[in-house]
Amino acid sequence: MEFEFNFNRGFASDNNSGVHPTILNALAQVNNQHALAYGDDAVTQKAEDVFKSIFGADIEVFFVFIGSAANVLGLKAITNSYNAIICADTAHINVDECGAPERFTGAKLLTVSTPNGKLTVDLIKKHVHGFGVQHHSQPKVISISQPTELGTLYSIDEVKALANFAHQNGMLLHMDGARIANAAVALNQPFKAFTKDAGVDVLSFGGTKNGMMYGEAIVFFNKELATDFMYTRKQGLQLASKMRYISAQFIAYLSNNLWAQTAGHANRMAKLLAQKVADIPGITITQSVDVNGIFAIMPAELIPALQKEYFFYEWDESRSEVRWMASWDTTEEDIERFAATLRKLVLQ
Amino acid sequence: MEFEFNFNRGFASDNNSGVHPTILNALAQVNNQHALAYGDDAVTQKAEDVFKSIFGADIEVFFVFIGSAANVLGLKAITNSYNAIICADTAHINVDECGAPERFTGAKLLTVSTPNGKLTVDLIKKHVHGFGVQHHSQPKVISISQPTELGTLYSIDEVKALANFAHQNGMLLHMDGARIANAAVALNQPFKAFTKDAGVDVLSFGGTKNGMMYGEAIVFFNKELATDFMYTRKQGLQLASKMRYISAQFIAYLSNNLWAQTAGHANRMAKLLAQKVADIPGITITQSVDVNGIFAIMPAELIPALQKEYFFYEWDESRSEVRWMASWDTTEEDIERFAATLRKLVLQ
Amino acid sequence: MEFEFNFNRGFASDNNSGVHPTILNALAQVNNQHALAYGDDAVTQKAEDVFKSIFGADIEVFFVFIGSAANVLGLKAITNSYNAIICADTAHINVDECGAPERFTGAKLLTVSTPNGKLTVDLIKKHVHGFGVQHHSQPKVISISQPTELGTLYSIDEVKALANFAHQNGMLLHMDGARIANAAVALNQPFKAFTKDAGVDVLSFGGTKNGMMYGEAIVFFNKELATDFMYTRKQGLQLASKMRYISAQFIAYLSNNLWAQTAGHANRMAKLLAQKVADIPGITITQSVDVNGIFAIMPAELIPALQKEYFFYEWDESRSEVRWMASWDTTEEDIERFAATLRKLVLQ
Amino acid sequence: MEFEFNFNRGFASDNNSGVHPTILNALAQVNNQHALAYGDDAVTQKAEDVFKSIFGADIEVFFVFIGSAANVLGLKAITNSYNAIICADTAHINVDECGAPERFTGAKLLTVSTPNGKLTVDLIKKHVHGFGVQHHSQPKVISISQPTELGTLYSIDEVKALANFAHQNGMLLHMDGARIANAAVALNQPFKAFTKDAGVDVLSFGGTKNGMMYGEAIVFFNKELATDFMYTRKQGLQLASKMRYISAQFIAYLSNNLWAQTAGHANRMAKLLAQKVADIPGITITQSVDVNGIFAIMPAELIPALQKEYFFYEWDESRSEVRWMASWDTTEEDIERFAATLRKLVLQ
């Protein structure tokens, strides 16, 4: 390379972090001669087998480039354009995908306000009606994020309650698992326990935010839902030609508990950060720190100064709420310095 | 990694080849601490500057994951759903993107038969009519591939003639440059000479087929066409979160003439292969070997046996025409053995 | 016809009413020899002129078949798929068009709860943000219904406030005027005063609910917004071949104040109905009866019995709120009998 | 009405003709009190029954406004966006619907040149391949027009051959019957014989071109294909609120052989016209006059003068081929005068 980049670690997003060395190394390991393009290669076969070892053989798994694509194409597979998808108003599919779910599925998003990013049967009941009425978008999917965009977690029972409600109404349960490793570690449960076994029908299984370079998976727990999905992926511009390089990342990520180490570390760092700032005057943590995100209200006038040192995002300007994310590569020293900087700003 | 993969080099597709070591190394070089996600990072800034050094400062460039996305989103940027796009019936956008152009743009593809994959004004004239007639999809784009899917090349003058015709009719010229490096080397011209300077309006600039891992660019030579393109890319599921890793590849690829070395090598290997098989009885090369692809008619009954040794694709079963592609990593020894195998099969 | 139909007048919907005799007669008057199809005929020219006499010469007007199409195509004309449209959660475009707005525009609907179906700047402010952020659907349109789906009216000043807010933010104001005649009569204002002059950019101008057989108009107050609209209409499956029959209806409807007679009558009948039921025990009128719709809470257990006599729709089951609509052909006798039936049921 | 329109009968299009008096009368007959909107009325029930009396009880029929909508929504019902639809390059869905089929279905149109507008198995074979290949739009529908846009007819056996070929390949046969009455009369066969009984799966059944004001039907011969079609129609902006007025037209049209009288007359007038001009020097009839359209080559320099008297369309400028359409209201006198005018022009 012809010049030096100066990077710093911060708390803006786990998407800002780099790639775990083991993942980088996996790329090099499969970089050898020729492999059939578009997923017809042995590395991809192996990566699919790894997913089957986790979720059971009766699944279908497809790799795509990014989390938004995993969500949008997964939803496309299970909706028609006259359907409606129920989600939290804070859901990634609602606020962070530039309308791609509507654009690509044609379906309507029905959103509900939640105190903590989590749907409940009670909250969504009002949208589950109008079946058979031709004027109304037909409710078909409940979409939840695990963990949520507010850093909170569904318990297994909470997932089951939504799955049952969905299925009783002829609907399906979709889970956005962009940070699913963080959820699994926090719940101390295997992936399968709070997805397939809890009634989830389609899962976006993320890797990029937890140490991979690129690559997400769409997992169908009912294979019939995936009958034609290969065309949907291709038409959705998500079929990688040199797919072995996504597959290799997933093999490395899911082997030797790499995913658990990285996610577990990020979760611990978030808890540590929460602990370190909890007693700073004017700082109020607003959501349960279940995984690797911290939501906090802080003095509005101090935000720019803190951002100058560590870039991060304001979440809700109206109440000067900010978001801090820990990553797989966050260090205790990062936390100490960040907390100290914040404390100093507050106490000035 | 937990097991060994056995790969072999073949002639099926340049997409089957691996990643050039310099590219792999570039990934490692930017794998350091945190960088802003979604392209707001210094690596991406640098990569964009490299494109501007090639094409001039008055362009807009956007990175996406794959060539189909570069084509589809580039076309989306310059069409409305009531437009028509004119292309060769052999164009990648017509036969290899599973209808994504129609699906994503809503526009109609108007195709023409060609002897060699190349459009001419005469061939497309019949589709350039009906302007202002509300019943007819309004012609808006001529889309060409450089090189074509048949391994042939447009001369600069041929590109200019199509660009002029397009512009005279209020239309735009789109170029699919999935293998644009192979074209530049073969033409012995800078990229700019046969794109921007020849009147191309929007270009898909490929890298994956020539030694990159993933990553293509969409280059707008008229910046106004790109005003809102960042939303189109995001909604088109092509905004990479950890974009620095695409950008780093492009920096390495476009530095020190790496692109020219790899493409030049592939082109030479194709010519060598053509030469080595030309005198084998029953083998007829059907297209000019302008870049790295060879199209040849061979005895139908020998195809399976040859495929057993080296996988490749039949192109036109009706006349037992096959396609052999050379890659950046094809060796002379590969060629010798392939030609010898074929010769032996024929002479048995 | 081969058999008799038994119809009854009720209060379910003004869409259930028939066609005014003057409109039927207009159909016969233009039923003479041949006229150019698809709107290139003298009747359509005349109908467009009538609209221009109402709104000024600097407009563009297009006829379509139904109100949903007027809304959806009008919105399509002024949005890109990465845009967002802000509307009341009770808006027809949100609840009664089976997701056609999302399906056809690709855009996102951002909905707000309102006490009375009316948007205000305060209510929608939270959705007007994120400009220039590529992850967010870009707010582009505020869409209001005049009158609203709850039978309420915006004052001219209220429309102006929303128009100004829209324009200050680079957005546009869309008005669903499916019952615009009822609004004009109730406001005692010419159409132009609360549409074009108040800052509306695109208007759905309805006729079917007020005595026409079929046919709605899309009026663009900024002609530039309509540059390519003829293709959008055609592609949107709304270009009538024998358009003279829509046009003739509009000419008759807008001549001799027919629209004002029919809408004025319907409004009066609604007020009369409200008056007749106001003192019935257990009946609470929940919305201001500004035009021809009455929303009322009534004893839930009496709804089926009343529906048996007069079909109508429950609006909000959770509070046994019902909707009664008066039509251009509702008679005072209908009202008397309906009120008496209801009174009798309640007092039994 | 406030002014007089001057109409003339010509030969431009059967869409330019007016409405048969019996149809107009039917509109008046159902214009009585209230009927449930959106098709839940007795008139629509009756109209559906009339279709079932023609095609059998095991069908589903839906009414829409226009022929393009019948085609597009019928195709939408039987395709996914990754499918391909095979049709003649002269098909209405390819050249006269402004890309609505692609826009609404997302699917690709694969077109073939034909000498006479008619598909054959041989002509389309080349497009029926690539099943299971994820890069290729999957062929799903063969769409034919009966009669064709060139005024020619498929025999029952020809329809059957295409249906069999479609079904053998897991595909469906769609028929655009915009002028189906003209076909039935010309074939001297009941509708059912060359549609359902010949293997057609979905039919666009036209009325507007043969004496109706507006209204077309989509007939599903396999009810399972129509399971969710009510939502597709609504979302496709084709659900008429006052549907009884479409239904009444169809009842009148299909009763007492009105359709056969009007179509038979138009067919006879076309044959008469062909006969009257056949011996005029310089006039060559280019297609078999199977129904109500005549295609003829005439001296290019005389076209404008003839158009001045009788507006009609040039079909293929490159060979000065024109199209003349007879309508249900064309008179023998119209023919005589037209032929005389043409003869005079030629002989001058």
Q: Is the pLDDT of residue C123 over 80?
A: yes
Taking all residues of chain B, what is their mean pLDDT, rounded to a whole number?
A: 96
The answer to whether the Cβ–Cβ distance between A18 and B33 falls below 8 Å is: yes
Contact A345, A308 (CB under 8 A): no
Chains that touch C (3 or more CB pairs under 8 A): A, B, D
Per-residue DSSP letter, C137: P
**Are A262 and A127 in a shared domain?**
no
Q: Which two tokens stand for residue D236?
A: 């496709």
Which of C254, C280, C301 is at the close of a domain? Answer: C254
Task: Examine residue C281 and say whether the peptide bond preceding it is cis (omega within 30 degrees of 0).
Answer: no
Q: Is the pLDDT of residue B30 over 90?
A: yes
The answer to whether the Cβ–Cβ distance between A134 and D233 falls below 8 Å is: yes
**For residue D232, what is the enclosing H or E element?**
helix D229-235
Find all residues with CB under 8 Å of B4, minimum gap 6, and list them: none
A327 to chain B: which residues are within 8 Å by CB?
A: 34
Mean of the pLDDT values across residues B111-133? Answer: 97
Q: Is the pLDDT of residue B3 over 60?
A: no
Question: Which one of B5, B23, B29, B255 would you mutate to disrupt binding with A, by most A Cβ within 10 Å of its Cβ?
Answer: B5
**Are D273 and D232 in a shared domain?**
no
Question: Which one of D71, D76, D83, D137 would you mutate to disrupt binding with B, by most B Cβ within 10 Å of its Cβ?
Answer: D137
C96 to chain A: which residues are within 8 Å by CB?
A: 135-136
Please tell me the distance from the alpha carbon of residue B11 to that of residue B330, in angstroms, as a whole number. 8
Mean of the pLDDT values across residues A22-49? Answer: 94
Edge to edge, the sheet with strand A284-285 lists A284-285, A293-297, A321-325, A313-316
A245 to chain B: which residues are within 8 Å by CB?
A: 19, 213-214
Q: Is the pLDDT of residue C329 over 90?
A: yes
C310 to chain D: which residues are within 8 Å by CB?
A: none
CB-nearest to D102 from B96, B97, B107 is: B107
pLDDT at C121 (0 to 100): 98
- Residue B65 within a domain: yes
Inter-CA distances, D204 with A4, C242, D21, D150, D290, Å: 65, 18, 24, 18, 20
3 state SS of C43? helix
Instruction: Name the domain count of chain D.
Output: 2
**Are D25 and D152 in a shared domain?**
yes
Mean of the pLDDT values across residues D129-140? Answer: 97
pLDDT at B114 (0 to 100): 98
Distance separating the N- and C-terminal Cα atoms of chain A = 43
**Are C68 and C126 in a shared domain?**
yes
pLDDT at A105 (0 to 100): 97
- Residue D6 within a domain: no
Give the type of residue at C202. Answer: V
Q: At what angle do helices B258-277 and B332-347 cross, to 10 degrees?
A: 20
Mean of the pLDDT values across residues A251-278? Answer: 97
The answer to whether the Cβ–Cβ distance between C242 and D13 falls below 8 Å is: no
The answer to whether the Cβ–Cβ distance between C1 and D239 falls below 8 Å is: no
Question: Which one of A72, A140, A231 would you mutate to disrupt binding with D, by most D Cβ within 10 Å of its Cβ?
Answer: A231
- Residue C300 within a domain: yes
A96 to chain C: which residues are within 8 Å by CB?
A: 135-136
HEC letters along D160-229: HHHHHHHHHCCCEEEEEECCHHHHHHHHCCCHHHHCHHHCCCEEEECCHHHCCCCCEEEEECCHHHHCCH
pLDDT digits (tens, 9 = 90+) for C290-306: 999 999 999 999 999 99
- Residue B1 within a domain: no
**Are B189 and B309 in a shared domain?**
no
pLDDT at C7 (0 to 100): 61
Mean of the pLDDT values across residues D207-212? Answer: 97
Find all residues with CB under 8 Å of D273, minimum gap 6, and list them: D11, D294, D324, D326, D335, D338, D339
Q: Is the pLDDT of residue D306 over 90?
A: yes
3 state SS of C342? helix
User: What backbone torsions phi and psi does residue D308 show, to the nearest 5 degrees?
Assistant: -65, -35
- Residue D169 within a domain: yes
- Provide the ipTM: 0.96
CB-nearest to A137 from C81, C99, C106 is: C99
More confident residue, A309 or C22: C22
Task: Examine residue B190 and say whether the peptide bond preceding it is cis (omega within 30 degrees of 0).
Answer: no
Which of C254, C269, C285 is at the close of a domain? Answer: C254
pLDDT digits (tens, 9 = 90+) for B46-75: 999 999 999 999 999 999 999 999 999 999
Q: At what angle do helices C42-55 and C244-254 cross, to 10 degrees?
A: 40
D33–chain B nearest CA distance, Å: 38
More confident residue, A310 or A2: A310
The answer to whether the Cβ–Cβ distance between A68 and B239 falls below 8 Å is: yes
CA B283 to chain centre: 27
The answer to whether the Cβ–Cβ distance between A107 and C106 falls below 8 Å is: no
**Are C136 and C200 in a shared domain?**
yes
Give the type of residue at C198. Answer: A
D73 to chain C: which residues are within 8 Å by CB?
A: 237
Distance separating the N- and C-terminal Cα atoms of chain D = 43
Contact A269, A335 (CB under 8 A): yes
pLDDT digits (tens, 9 = 90+) for B275-313: 999 999 999 999 999 999 999 999 999 999 999 888 899
pLDDT at C1 (0 to 100): 53
pLDDT at B9 (0 to 100): 86
**Are C139 and C278 in a shared domain?**
no
Nearest-CA neighbor of D253 among D184, D186, D200? D184
**Are C244 and C281 in a shared domain?**
no
pTM value?
Answer: 0.97
pLDDT digits (tens, 9 = 90+) for C5-20: 656 788 999 999 999 9
Contact A141, A86 (CB under 8 A): yes
Question: Which one of C16, C81, C331 would you mutate to disrupt binding with D, by most D Cβ within 10 Å of its Cβ?
Answer: C16
Please tell me the distance from the alpha carbon of residue C83 to that of residue D234, in angstroms, as a whole number. 23
Q: Is the pLDDT of residue D173 over 90?
A: yes
What DSSP letter does each residue of A284-341 carry, written as one string?
EE-S---SSEEEEE--GGGHHHHHHHS--EEEEGGGTEEEEE--TT--HHHHHHHHHH
Which of C222, C254, C286 is at the close of a domain? Answer: C254
Find all residues with CB under 8 Å of A64, minimum gap 6, and list them: A70, A73, A215, A216, A217, A218, A233, A236, A238, A240
Q: Which domain holds residue A238?
A: 19-254
- Residue D5 within a domain: no
Which residue does chain D place closest to A77, by CA atoms? Answer: D80
- Residue C10 within a domain: no
Q: At what angle do helices D244-254 and D42-55 cross, to 10 degrees?
A: 40
The answer to whether the Cβ–Cβ distance between A102 and C97 falls below 8 Å is: no
Q: Is the pLDDT of residue A122 over 60?
A: yes
C99: left (phi over 0), alpha (psi -120 to 50) or beta: left
C186–chain D nearest CA distance, Å: 24
Give the type of residue at D210. Answer: N
C235 to chain B: which residues are within 8 Å by CB?
A: 81-82, 106
3 state SS of A130? coil
pLDDT digits (tens, 9 = 90+) for B186-245: 999 999 999 999 999 999 999 999 999 999 999 999 999 999 999 999 999 999 999 999
- Residue A5 within a domain: no
Q: Give the number of B-C residue pairs with CB atoms closer than 8 Å.
A: 36
**Are C277 and C250 in a shared domain?**
no
Give the type of residue at C159. Answer: V
pLDDT at A309 (0 to 100): 87
pLDDT at C6 (0 to 100): 56
The answer to whether the Cβ–Cβ distance between A134 and D82 falls below 8 Å is: no
Q: Is the pLDDT of residue D155 over 70?
A: yes
* CATH number of domain containing D197: 3.40.640.10
**Are A46 and A191 in a shared domain?**
yes
CB-nearest to A99 from C98, C103, C108 is: C108
Q: Please, which pLDDT band fits residue D6 given cuts at 50, 70 and 90?
A: low
CB-nearest to C81 from B38, B82, B235 is: B235
pLDDT at D226 (0 to 100): 98
Please tell me the distance from the alpha carbon of residue C215 to that of residue C204, in angstroms, as a whole number. 11
- Triad B22, B26, B27: Cα angle to 5°: 125
B83 to chain D: which residues are within 8 Å by CB?
A: 99
Please tell me the distance from the alpha carbon of residue C298 to that of residue C284, in angstroms, as a whole number. 7
Q: Is the pLDDT of residue B1 over 70?
A: no
Q: Length of chain C in residues, anyone? A: 348
Which residue does chain D place closest to A235, by CA atoms? Answer: D82
Please tell me the distance from the alpha carbon of residue C168 to that of residue C131, in angstroms, as a whole number. 13
What DSSP letter does each residue of D43-61 carry, written as one string?
HHHHHHHHHHHHH-SS-EE
Q: Please, which pLDDT band fits residue C4 given cuts at 50, 70 and 90?
A: low
Taking all residues of chain C, what is their mean pLDDT, rounded to a whole number?
A: 96
Which residue does chain C place closest to D310, by CA atoms? Answer: C34
Please tell me the distance from the alpha carbon of residue A336 to that of residue D279, in angstroms, as a whole number. 100
**Are B284 and B195 in a shared domain?**
no
CA A198 to chain centre: 18
**Are C233 and C120 in a shared domain?**
yes
Q: Is the pLDDT of residue A12 over 70?
A: yes
Q: Is the pLDDT of residue B2 over 70?
A: no
Q: A311: exposed, middle or buried (C-beta count within 10 Å: 0-12, 13-18, 19+)? A: middle
Contact C99, A108 (CB under 8 A): yes
User: What backbone torsions phi and psi does residue B96 show, to the nearest 5 degrees?
Assistant: -125, 15
Q: Which two tokens stand for residue C42?
A: 């003298």
pLDDT digits (tens, 9 = 90+) for B76-105: 999 999 999 999 999 999 999 999 999 999
Interface of B to C at Cβ within 8 Å reads: 38, 80-82, 106, 134-135, 138, 228, 230-235, 239
